[in-house]
Amino acid sequence: MPSTPPANPNPVPQPPVAPASPLREQLPAAPGALIDVYFPHALGHSAFQTSAILLLVMILGGLAALAAIALPSLFPAALVTIPVAMLITVFGPLLLIGPLLRARNRRRGEVIACTVARDGIGPAMTALCRAVRGWAAEHGCISALRTLLSVGHQGLTLRIGKSEEARPIEPLIWPIEPRPLDEAYTSLLDDATGAADATRVHGKMTSLAHSDLARVIRRNVRRKGGWWLILIFVPLWAFNVLDALARWRITLPAVLWTAALVAALFVGPIRGRAAEQWFIVPGGMVRRKASPFQKRWSLHLFERSKSVLCAVRWFGQSWLILVQDGHETARRNATRDEVTLLLRAWLSPLPPPPVERLSDLE
């Protein structure tokens, strides 16, 4: 029988092994995997919360009106006019409620993100949606994404919506030039559904000249929730315009409702302080941003391997895309087809282009 080797009398101490992050153990290890979280409601709308805020606005407005009638000497004459009183009544409570909701949702997002180790990513994100649904919900989601990124979840990709909206995503397997993430471009819908051929995808990004007015209007309406917006604006606009025609003069309500209708149809939803554009690239996304005081665009490349992304159904036909890396946060409203195209490029196994090759976008 072979003899057993004697034990080493002076064993070499081994360095302690750092324990794995408990949050990371519950997430899939495959890079570039898409995690679908099913949530039946739109995250940006809560009927109960909206009703409560409107009730609060009506109560405060009624109290302000009674105070102005009972004690007119305490209110300047300028504040008693109807337009100014309406502005104060509506926006006054919102200026107080908005910061409170944002702070509350940030705390909830950070706390719920820490429950992934116990509940798993799906139940934790569902609980997050229930906790922050409504006004300022995006701040809770951003806080959760930052927490997950801080514990090493780079590459996490989430899509939150109804189960019937979970389209299969086929990652792009060929290189593409940076292309604008905009449904108004003629070839984007074909790309989102997988009908684009390699010749067209290999080409340069589509020019604005190839987008028509109908696509621009449809894109803006979808990004803002759907055609319900037009059903609200058109009757009010028509009523005020007909009233101005009956008076044979230009009235302020007619001008305001005309401007609102034009903005609803031709101006996209604005998030953030600076104008920005998004471009898809394999394995990432490029954000081009400029402020009114800058002459050049500033570029930031979000790489999938260093970022987390969440696409969530926001309101009606509108989706909200949130991207977070170690330096910056990007957010924007999008249509479902734009979300599909972004995910196809984001989940691509190809590496993103170096920043030096993106100089043409500046």
* Lowest pLDDT segment from 47-51, 102-106, 130-134: 47-51
Q: Could you write out the DSSP letters of every residue in 178-228?
A: -EE--TTSTTHHHHHHT---HHHHTSPPPPGGG--HHHHHHHHHHHTTSTH
Co-location of 149 and 172 in the same domain = no
- What's the distance, CA 322 to chain centroid? 5
Tell me: the pLDDT tens digits for 67-79? 666 666 655 554 4
More confident residue, 300 or 202: 300
- As a whole number of angstroms, the distance between CA 321 and CA 330 comes to 8
Does a structural domain hold residue 162? Answer: no
Q: Are residues 175 and 89 in the same domain?
A: no
Mapping DSSP onto H, E and C, the string for 83-123 reads: HHHHHHHHHHHHHHHHHHHHHHHHHHHHHHHCCHHHHCHHH
Q: For 302-319, what is each residue's pLDDT tens digit? A: 999 999 999 999 888 889
CA distances from 244 to 35, 235, 240, 247, 253 (A): 53, 14, 6, 5, 9
Does residue 310 sit in the same domain as residue 192? Answer: yes
Count helices and strands (H / E) in the chain.
12, 9
Host domain of residue 105 = 44-153
d(CA 276, CA 355): 17
- Residue with tokens 């009674």, as numbered in its chain: 66
Asked if residue 196 and residue 93 are part of one domain, the reply reads no
Is the same domain home to 78 and 199?
no
Q: What is the CATH number of the domain that holds 345?
A: 2.30.29
* Lowest mean pLDDT segment, chosen from 7-21, 61-75, 346-360: 7-21
Both 50 and 146 in one domain: the answer is: yes
Is the full-model pTM beyond 0.85? no
For the chain, give the mean pLDDT: 75
Contact indicator for 253, 243 with CB cutoff of 8 Å: yes
| Residue 192 and residue 100 share a domain | no
Residues paired with 311 in a beta bridge: 159, 321
In the structure encoding, which two tokens stand for residue 35, read together? 């995690």
What does residue 290 show for φ and ψ, rounded to 5 degrees?
Answer: -150, 145
Cα angle: 331, vertex 103, 290; to 5 degrees: 30
Q: What is the DSSP string of 33-79?
A: -EEEEE-SS-TT--HHHHHHHHHHHHHHHHHHHHHHHH-GGGS-HHH
**How many domains are there within the chain?**
2
Q: What average pLDDT does range 151-162 have in this prediction?
A: 89
